[in-house]
Amino acid sequence: MAAGSAAGHDPGMQHLAAERPTPSPTLRLKNLVGLLSALLLVAVGLLAGWLVATTPFLSALVTAHPTTVQTLLGAIGWAAGLSLPVLLTGAGLLRLARSVGAIRPRRPRSPIAQLVAHLPDDHALVEGVRLSDGRRIPAVVVGPFGAAVLEPLPPPGTARRRGDVWELRVGPREFVPMENPLHRATRNAERLRRWLLEADQDHVVRVYAAVVGIEPGLERTPSCAVVPPDQLVAWLAALPAQRSFTAWRRARLVERLAERLG
């Protein structure tokens, strides 16, 4: 079972997603070295500041009748003595922040997770469901209506559509074929439906499919809805409740989907 983690601060809807892979030993060592070097820079900067403030280093650079060379050296010494501690400490703190972020990376919330974050607690979002055939379903929302397979549309400018043919941009004027998102969502919904039926033939869970995003002129099909991002919550709320899909069955389905995270 791939480990799952709650990914959200809202007290309502449950959100499960696959955890980040464990960093390799080499990457861990690199992060540790970065952290130690950052602490060393901060320590050296603070020590240099303490020496400048508590010792007669800078005052020794001032003489009663300095020559031109002495004046120049004194100015360089004062500039270095005043700026070096600040630069060392600042560089160390900046590297320290980066090192801590690399050691404990935060998982950014996906666009789907942000859109459905305020659904009530009788809903759950499971992201990254990998069924037995190896294919991955990006997002499944489980609610009183059953299950909804959600497929994000490509961001604007990253793909183009010519009828049912979709192409992914790989260069300024270069495109490669990509799977039609509506077809992919429909197939994923059918795969999920079959998987659920194989596991529990005594109860049929309704499974819906939708692509989420903005694509002018894109029309829904009989098996897949086209939902603008700002209407996703309303679309889910409008799905008819499945009376036989009790809270216990919903919780059990979420557990089973969590076992397929990956």
- Residue 6, pLDDT score: 43
Q: Under 8 Å CB-to-CB from 252, ≥6 apart: which residues?
A: none
Q: How far apart are CA 139 and CA 111, in angstroms?
A: 11
Q: Taking the CB of residue 38, how many other CB atoms lie within 10 A of it? A: 20
Residue 20 DSSP code = P
First to last CA, the chain: 8
45-71 per-position pLDDT tens digit: 777 776 666 766 555 555 555 666 555
Q: Is the predicted pLDDT of residue 245 greater than 90, yes or no?
A: yes
Q: How far apart are CA 129 and CA 135, in angstroms?
A: 8
What is the SS3 assignment for 162? strand
Average of per-residue pLDDT values in the chain = 80
- Residue 3, pLDDT score: 42
- Residue 235, pLDDT score: 96
- Residue 134, pLDDT score: 84
104-146 per-position pLDDT tens digit: 555 567 889 989 988 999 999 999 999 888 889 999 999 999 9
Q: How far apart are CA 206 and CA 74, in angstroms?
A: 81
What is 21-48 written as a DSSP string? PPPPHHHHHHHHHHHHHHHHHHHHHHHH
User: Where exactly are the structural domains of the chain?
Assistant: 25-103, 109-258
220-248 mean pLDDT: 95
Q: How far apart are CA 258 and CA 179, in angstroms?
A: 26
Nearest to 50 by CA among 89, 76, 79, 96: 89
Highest mean pLDDT among 5-19, 85-99, 176-190 belongs to 176-190
Contact in structure between 120 and 247 (CB atoms under 8 Å): no
158-174 per-position pLDDT tens digit: 899 988 899 998 888 89
